[in-house]
Amino acid sequence: MLYLGRIFVEAEGKPGGSDVLLLSRGLWKRQFGGDTTVVGRSVLLNGIAHIVVGIMPETFVFPSGTDVWIPMTVPFSWNGTGGEALRSFFAPMVIARLKPGISAETARQRVRAL
pTM over 0.75? The answer is no
In contact, 26 and 56? CB cutoff 8 Å: no
The number of helix segments (H) and strand segments (E) in the chain equals 3, 5
Pairing of strands 48-55, 42-45: antiparallel
39 DSSP assignment: T
Mean pLDDT of the chain, nearest integer = 84
Closest CA to 58 of 32, 36, 37, 27: 27
pLDDT at 97 exceeding the cut of 90: no
pLDDT at position 88? 54
Q: Is the peptide bond before 75 cis (omega within 30 degrees of 0)?
A: no
Q: Which of 41-45, 77-81, 106-110 has the highest mean pLDDT?
A: 41-45
pLDDT-derived band at 108, boundaries 50, 70, 90: confident
pLDDT at position 111? 78
pLDDT at 16 exceeding the cut of 70: yes
